[in-house]
Amino acid sequence: MKQLIKRILCVFTAAAALVVQTAGSADAADIKIFDRTRDMAVMKADPPEPEKELVYSEIPVSSFTVSGLAPGINTDKDRVDWWFSEWEDCRYIFLPSTADRSSLVITYGCDETLYLNDTPVVSGESTSLLDSADEFTVRAGDKDCGKLKVMQSELGCIFLSTKSGGLDLLDANMQYTETGSALMLDPDGGIVFSGDIDKLTAHGNSSWHYSKKKSYNVKLDKKADLYGMGKAKKWALISNYLDHSMVRNKVTEEMCKAVGAQCVMDSVFVDLYADGSYRGTYQLYERVQIQKNRVNIRDLEEETEKLNESDLSEYPRRVKGASGVGEYMENSFKYYDIPNDPADITGGYLMQFQLWNRYGYKANSGFVTSRGQAVELDGPEYASEAQINYIRSFVQDAEDAVYSDTGFNSKGKHYSDYFDMDSLVTAYLVQEISMNIDATTTSFFLWKDSDVNGDGKLHFCPSWDFDFAYGCFPASVKNSDGKSGYSCWTNNLYAAYFPISGYQTSERPAEGVSWIGMLYKRDSFRKMAARRFTQRFSPFLTELTQGEDPGIMQIAGAMENSAGMNNARWHTYGGAEYCVFGSSSGKDFLGSVELVRRFAGDRNEWLGELWKDDLYPDGDVNGDGVLDAADLEALERWLLGADGAELAASDAADLSGDGRTDTFDLCLMRQRIAEVQS
């Protein structure tokens, strides 16, 4: 019965895969669509179980460990145990790039002499035997013990040593906190980090529950610069288990860098080992936090801590406008009863939009706008009442402007007075291109610096958490305007049609059109998006997906050996039937990457065609479709820093194409206007 259910599920996922490949030639009714927060439980299923009889699962060898994986380094962490694959009925040794196969120590437990390819192995002594082949017959005395396969990666590696002696306790309980130490090496064996880990905890929400290969949050005992990403204590080890290409997050990261996003979290791929157990290919990521090398704004929580005797988390937690801190209710807010505030509470604030049904337990501090948008504060995580009231009022005023017919709120301020439009347009395009199923509902970050340090506006970045993007998960959205989008089709809009999370599911009056959806209705916003896409995003996507050596295949090629090891360990590839859900798996690693390549390429082509009529001319900085004296005046005022001076279409200002806007562009604009008038 269990296998029958899985096979039925496979029919749905295979159908979704076909839709991705055919760019949406089928009717929507033909595709099984899953709700991100409600239907995922239905999809939980393990990959097909091996059907052949296992001959070598039980052999007279109690242990087999290869050590000395970090030559020249005095450590006992650099070891790996062999691993039995039920799929292949054989054993594997997974080696990091740092291992010198001509000089490794094999230690085993067996009453008989162990033979590899009929060569006796002396336990505990250095040997070059593993350098002689990639596959060995294994024999304990005269007993046939099957095969041993040896694989080696090309990436850097992380060796963890945990207090409990493994990750089993943490993997079984996401509330558990592990401690220990780590040795991190670059691909050539150089030491990146060697020291203590204060905390190793669960990372993720739904992805944690649906992944056998777990993701983790890492907190070091002190700040360290890991792989050139800047000093910090907090990091994330992302498993990418649900993304069989393992490149969706990396592609998004590279796209954000290429288009000049204001804030991008860096990452590197590594091989992870924990207490001798090979864990697979991981993506070591910067965490989204207020910090000099991350979101570089004033740390309001740190300033507040200086003025109060107790740890901020120890003060009483309060809620107003709702019956409890766990309730989602419009116009409500929750905070900590902290006695002392800094004189300046205008920033910095790091926030994210949150799913209505996660807001209650995810947000220690936060608020819900009048239209039902739940906002979680990540910094300060423990906010005072004054701080919450300041930022929620600011965000509410911005929201009021977005939803007004004119774009101005009752205070006479335009939404562009509250938003950094450059970052907002970029954030929208990243979500729209990738068709991220979370889009603006969760992990959609925004921040505001102090008015003393910053520009007094909300900035929308960094982009984060894209494993369910680029066709990985079949989902649909529909807003109150009747607009629908499907994440598995490349030829429709998606992020533009989201409602606010809670619409139709929370039993609260959440708005049926999101902030982005309201803005997309406006010609000026759509034209900005069209120009930004054409000038910055489309060239990147073309380079990523086209040519003899597409950029995405370069990313994949640099980790192909590691991905092969990861697949041998987790058995993720083989087509749609190997997915936990969705349609993201090719027959192998490069086949899975190919699905992402085709998706991104098709998206580039379709959006380019969609927005070609929304492009405005160079120099049209007020976005009215015409280059004239009004644009010249707007640019002059902006360059002089005049009060209220804004460029509705800032991308159009760089007429010289040198990447900045200055008086040279003003001269070029004056010249072009004169040419038009003559």
- DSSP string across 434-460: HT-SSTTTSSEEEEE--TTTS-SSBB-
Q: Is the pLDDT of residue 214 over 70?
A: yes
Sort 379 into a burial class: Cβ within 10 Å, 0-12 / 13-18 / 19+: buried
SS3 475: coil
Q: Specify the pTM.
A: 0.90
* SS3 sequence of 17-64: HHHHHHCCCCCHHHCCCCCCCCCHHHHCCCCCCCCCCCCCCCCCCCEE
pLDDT value of position 47: 54
Tens of pLDDT, residues 314-335? 999 999 999 999 999 999 999 9
CB 564 within 8 A of CB 397: no
Sort 72 into a burial class: Cβ within 10 Å, 0-12 / 13-18 / 19+: exposed
> Which residues face 106 on adjacent strands?
66, 125
Give 678's contacts (C-beta < 8 A, 6+ positions apart). none
Tens of pLDDT, residues 479-498? 999 999 999 999 999 999 99
Neighbours of 55 (CB within 10 A): 12
Q: Is the pLDDT of residue 272 over 50?
A: yes
Query: Residue 618 — pLDDT band, cuts 50, 70, 90?
Result: confident
Residues 350-365, buried b or exposed e (16+ Cβ, 10 A)?
Answer: bbbbbbbbbbbebbbb
Tens of pLDDT, residues 167-188? 999 999 999 999 999 999 999 9
Query: Residue 660 — pLDDT band, cuts 50, 70, 90?
Result: confident
Domain boundaries, the chain: 2-32, 63-152, 300-520, 629-677
pLDDT value of position 84: 98
pLDDT value of position 210: 85
Report how far residue 574's alpha carbon sits from residue 454's, in angstroms, rounded to the nearest whole number: 50
Bond from prior residue into 641 cis (ω within 30 degrees of 0): no
* Look-up of token digits 């439009």: 421
* Region 592-608 average pLDDT: 98
Distances (CA, A) of 519 to 381, 495, 529, 668: 29, 12, 11, 31
pLDDT value of position 51: 61
**Among candidate residues 153, 217, 159, 582, the one with its CA nearest the CA of residue 572:** 582
Question: Torsions phi, psi of 283, nearest 5?
Answer: -110, 110
CB 179 within 8 A of CB 163: yes
Half-sphere exposure of 360 (CA within 13 A, CB side): 13
CB 115 within 8 A of CB 139: yes
Q: Is the pLDDT of residue 24 over 80?
A: no
Q: Is the pLDDT of residue 13 over 50?
A: no
pLDDT value of position 33: 55
Neighbours of 519 (CB within 10 A): 24
> Which residues face 147 on adjacent strands?
137
H-type alpha helices, 366-420? 385-403
DSSP code string of 117-143: TTEEE-TTEEESGGGS-SEEEEEETTE
Give 450's contacts (C-beta < 8 A, 6+ positions apart). 297, 298, 300, 344, 346, 347, 348
Return the minimum-mean-pLDDT range out of 106-115, 420-429, 492-501, 573-582. Answer: 573-582
pLDDT value of position 672: 85
**Among candidate residues 517, 523, 549, 535, the one with its CA nearest the CA of residue 608:** 535
Report how far residue 616's alpha carbon sits from residue 625's, in angstroms, rounded to the nearest whole number: 5
Q: Residue 150 has which token pair?
A: 């040896």
Question: Torsions phi, psi of 373, nearest 5?
Answer: -75, 115
pLDDT value of position 6: 40
CB 151 within 8 A of CB 133: no
pLDDT value of position 49: 58
- The DSSP code for 675 is H
* Look-up of token digits 């040279």: 664
Looking at residue 222, its amino acid is K
Query: Residue 626 — pLDDT band, cuts 50, 70, 90?
Result: confident
Give 280's contacts (C-beta < 8 A, 6+ positions apart). 213, 239, 271, 272, 565, 566, 569, 570
pLDDT value of position 516: 98
Element (H, E) at 300: helix 300-306
- The radius of gyration of the chain's CA atoms, rounded to the nearest angstrom, is 27
Distances (CA, A) of 66 to 78, 130, 152, 565: 9, 10, 13, 16
Q: Is the dihedral of CA 34, 37, 41, 45 positive or negative?
A: positive
Q: Is the pLDDT of residue 19 over 80?
A: no
Tens of pLDDT, residues 59-97? 999 999 999 999 999 999 999 999 999 999 999 999 999
**Among candidate residues 45, 85, 30, the one with its CA nearest the CA of residue 576:** 45
Query: Residue 32 — pLDDT band, cuts 50, 70, 90?
Result: low
Q: Which residue has the higher pLDDT, 622 or 264?
A: 264
Angle at 333 between CA 357 and CA 516, to 5 degrees: 60
Q: Is the pLDDT of residue 2 over 80?
A: no
Report how far residue 121's alpha carbon sits from residue 109's, in angstroms, rounded to the nearest whole number: 11
pLDDT value of position 407: 97
**Beta strand spans in 258-399 (E):** 267-274, 277-286, 317-320, 333-336, 349-353, 366-368, 374-379
pLDDT value of position 26: 36
pLDDT value of position 41: 41
Give 640's contacts (C-beta < 8 A, 6+ positions apart). none
**Distance from first CA to last CA of the chain, Å, rounded?**
80
Report how far residue 95's alpha carbon sits from residue 319's, in angstroms, rounded to the nearest whole number: 52
CB 138 within 8 A of CB 148: yes
Q: Is the pLDDT of residue 7 over 80?
A: no
pLDDT value of position 671: 85
pLDDT > 70: percent of the chain: 91
* Region 155-177 average pLDDT: 98
* Region 423-450 average pLDDT: 98
Residue-level length of the chain: 678
- The DSSP code for 183 is E
**Beta strand spans in 440-581 (E):** 444-448, 476-478, 484-486
Q: Residue 611 has which token pair?
A: 């927005």
SS3 674: helix
Q: Residue 238 has which token pair?
A: 């992302």
Query: Residue 535 — pLDDT band, cuts 50, 70, 90?
Result: very high
**Among candidate residues 100, 66, 103, the one with its CA nearest the CA of residue 81:** 66
